[in-house]
Copies of this chain bind each other. A is one copy, B any other.
Amino acid sequence: MQKRDIGNTSKMYAKTYFEYFDFDAVTVAPYMGSDSVTPFLEFTSKWVILLGLTSNEGSADFQNISDKNGKTLYENVITKAQNWGSPDNLMFVIGATHAESFASIRQLAKEYFFLVPGVGAQGGDLSSVINHGRNDEIGLLINSSREIIYAGYGLDFQEKIRAKAIDVSNKMSESADL
């Protein structure tokens, strides 16, 4: 019998998502620490997307708490998790609503992808995210969901959604100078 509780459980979750459902990536919350995360990192060609600094209002409740050295919880998470995974199987959720923090977060995890929600409906600014958050290979997966899928409600909803998707895509290319 294994003594571990969470490792045991996380392993079964990971197996279910990555083998049974064959998902490419899973978002994982860091609160329970290493043995809740590492079982997800043991699969080849799969990604763990770890919550870092999320885009929602409540992100300030705990993620911004500073430790004795002035390091915030999200900084501790982003730093420590790099001992568990690599830029090839781990990325971080960094919300677009914190554009002002992107530059310092990029310094903590230079080679890692950031998954960026919060552009569009939540008010995050696309170009400042890209300017402050990109690395040499861009390194940003910017997610815009509601701004696009709710772009139209009438009979022309398909055209409205298409136009919005193209618009967001163009703005990304322009901001990244592609």
Contacts and interface: CB of A to CB of B under 8 A. Distances in A.
Interface of A: 1-7, 29-37, 51, 54-63, 65-68, 73, 76-77, 80, 117-118, 121-123, 146, 150
A73 B68 contact: no
A35 B3 CA distance: 34
Given A3-B122, A31-B63, 5 more contacts: A1-B150, A31-B31, A32-B51, A33-B59, A36-B58
A122 B5 contact: yes
Nearest to A52: B31
Contact of A56 (B4, B77, B146): B4
A1 B36 CA distance: 35
Given A1-B146, A36-B56, A150-B1, A62 B30 contact: yes
Given A33-B63, A63-B31, A68-B66, A56 B5 contact: yes
Contacts of A60: 33
A67 B35 CA distance: 23
Given A121-B1, A150-B1, A35 B58 contact: yes
Contacts of A121: 1-3, 5
A34 B55 contact: no
B62 A6 contact: no
A97 to B, nearest CB: 9
A62 B73 contact: yes
Specify which of A55, A58, A59, A63 lies most central, judged by the most chain B CB atoms within 10 Å of its CB.
A58
27 contacts: A1-B150, A3-B121, A3-B122, A5-B56, A5-B118, A5-B121, A5-B122, A7-B56, A29-B29, A31-B63, A32-B54, A32-B63, A33-B56, A33-B57, A33-B60, A33-B61, A33-B62, A33-B63, A34-B58, A34-B61, A35-B58, A61-B80, A62-B73, A62-B76, A62-B80, A67-B67, A73-B73
